[in-house]
Amino acid sequence: MKTTRLEAFSDGVIAIIITIMVLEMKAPHGESIEALMPIFPVFLNYVLSFIYIGIYWNNHHHLFHTTEKVSGAILWANLHLLFWLSLFPFATAWMGENHFASVPTAAYGVVLLMAAIAYWVLQRTIITSEGRGSVLKLALGSDWKGKTSPLLYGIGIAASFWSHWLAQGVYVLVALLWLVPDRRIERTIQQREN
C-alpha cells in the first residue's frame, strides 16, 4: 500500500473527528445569554480538543513525509493511533457534562496519554521499518517533546484528583508545547537535500 492511501484515509478519519466533535456541542435549551453561559467552559474545552486534533493532524503529515512504503505493522500502528484520537469527542463530552469532575478530567488525560503512546509506537514502527539510517530517526533527534508529553499527561492525570484547574492547565501546557510545528523533520530533510 502506498503512503498516500494511508494518509488520505487518516485525513478522512481526522476530518470527521475534528468536525463531529464540535457538532456534538448541543444547542442550549433557553434563548437567553444566560443559557449560553454554562456551555462556555465546555466550549473552551472543545477548542482545546480541536487544537489537539489539529496538532496530531499536522504532526501526522510530518511523520509520513519521509515514509514511502507502508507495511502491515505501520498500517495497524496508524489505526491504533486513530482509535485513540476518535475517543477525544467521548472524553471531551464526558468531562464537559460533569463540569470537569475529577474522574472525567483524569479520563481525558488518559485518552491524551494513550494517543501520545500510540503516536510514539507509530513513530517507532516507521523507524524500525526504515531500518538503518532512518531519516525520521535523524529528524527526531532527542525527541524531547515526545518524551516529555507522556510525563506531563501523567502529572495532569494525578493532578485532576486534587484540582481540575491544575490538570486542565497541564493539558493546555502540552498543547502549547506542540503548537510549534515539528520543524526538526523539515529541517533535516532540507539539509539532506542540500
d(CA 71, CA 189): 22
What are 115's three cell numbers? 494517543
d(CA 123, CA 128): 9
What are 5's three cell numbers? 492511501
Q: Could you say which of 3, 48, 50, 150 contacts a second copy (CB under 8 A)?
A: 50
The reply to whether 15 sits near a second copy by the rule CB under 8 A is yes
Q: Which residues of 29-42 are buried (b: 16+ CB within 10 A; e: fewer)?
A: eeeeeeeeeebeeb
What are 123's three cell numbers? 513513530
Task: Give the CB-side neighbour count of residue 40, counting CA atoms within 13 A.
Answer: 6
- Segment contacting a second copy (CB under 8 A): 1-9, 121-129, 140-148, 169-177? 1-9
Q: Could you say which of 59, 90, 155, 184 contacts a second copy (CB under 8 A)?
A: 90
Q: Could you say which of 74, 82, 115, 157 contacts a second copy (CB under 8 A)?
A: 82
Q: Could you say which of 14, 74, 112, 174 contacts a second copy (CB under 8 A)?
A: 14
Q: Could you say which of 41, 52, 56, 87 contacts a second copy (CB under 8 A)?
A: 87
Q: Could you say which of 181, 187, 191, 192 contacts a second copy (CB under 8 A)?
A: 181
The reply to whether 76 sits near a second copy by the rule CB under 8 A is yes
Count of residues that interact with a second copy, criterion CB under 8 A: 57
Neighbours of 24 (CB within 10 A): 13
**Contact yes or no for 169/109 (Cβ under 8 A):** no
The nearest distance, CB 7 to a second copy, in angstroms, is 8
Task: Give the CB-side neighbour count of residue 9, counting CA atoms within 13 A.
Answer: 14
| Site residues (vs a second copy, CB under 8 A) | 1, 5, 7-9, 11-20, 22-25, 27-33, 35-36, 47, 50, 54, 57-58, 61, 72, 75-76, 79, 82-83, 86-87, 89-90, 93-94, 97-98, 101-104, 107, 179-181, 183
